[in-house]
């Protein structure tokens, strides 16, 4: 099951296509989905989570809580729509493209991919690009 919720006034477009795309990505990574929760929120809301749980006093676009056991993904991802909008502008991409990049980034972390070393960052970016390219092939429900 995949749930999308907001702590701000954000409303996700193309919910069915997004859900199918996430399921397809998990399957390509050899994972099933038990429960994934995406929570869209403000910079301030995510900063509080980042400080409270990770002891990081910085803004970020996503914080992922991974409860996965075995090959069934289970977790929560908190995404700052403020940060996504700022990064989309900074990188010259559409908001929804950057949002999908962040959403798949969290999923890839749950599949075991890191982003600390240069090699990990390169692999993560390649995976993100791959799944962004699959966006248009996700079958609407």
Per-residue pLDDT reduced to its tens digit, 102-125 = 999 999 999 999 999 999 999 999
Per-residue pLDDT at 55: 75
Residue 105 marked as a ligand binder: yes
Cβ proximity of 61 and 84 under 8 Å: yes
Cβ proximity of 114 and 66 under 8 Å: no
Residue 66 marked as a ligand binder: no
Q: How confident is the model at residue 100 (pLDDT cuts 50, 70, 90)?
A: very high
This prediction's pTM: 0.92
Q: How far apart are CA 48 and CA 67, in angstroms?
A: 20
Under CATH, to which class is 2-137 assigned? alpha beta
Half-sphere exposure at residue 133, Cβ-oriented, CA atoms within 13 angstroms: 6
* Pair of tokens at residue 85: 């909008």
Per-residue pLDDT at 141: 44
Per-residue pLDDT at 53: 79
Q: How far apart are CA 30 and CA 65, in angstroms?
A: 20
């Amino acid at each position: 099951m995949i749930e999308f919720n907001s702590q701000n006034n954000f409303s996700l477009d193309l919910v069915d296509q997004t859900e199918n795309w996430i399921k397809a990505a998990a399957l390509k990574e050899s994972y099933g989905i038990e429960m994934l929760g995406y929570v869209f929120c403000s910079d301030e809301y995510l900063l509080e989570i980042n400080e409270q749980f990770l002891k990081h006093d910085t803004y970020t676009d996503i914080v992922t809580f991974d409860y996965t056991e075995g090959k069934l993904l289970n977790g929560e991802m908190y995404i700052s729509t403020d940060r996504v909008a700022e990064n989309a502008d900074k990188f010259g991409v559409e908001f929804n493209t950057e949002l999908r990049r962040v959403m798949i980034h969290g999923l890839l972390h749950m599949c075991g991919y890191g982003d600390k070393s240069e090699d990990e960052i390169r692999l993560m970016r390649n995976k993100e690009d791959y799944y962004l390219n699959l966006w248009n092939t996700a079958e609407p429900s």
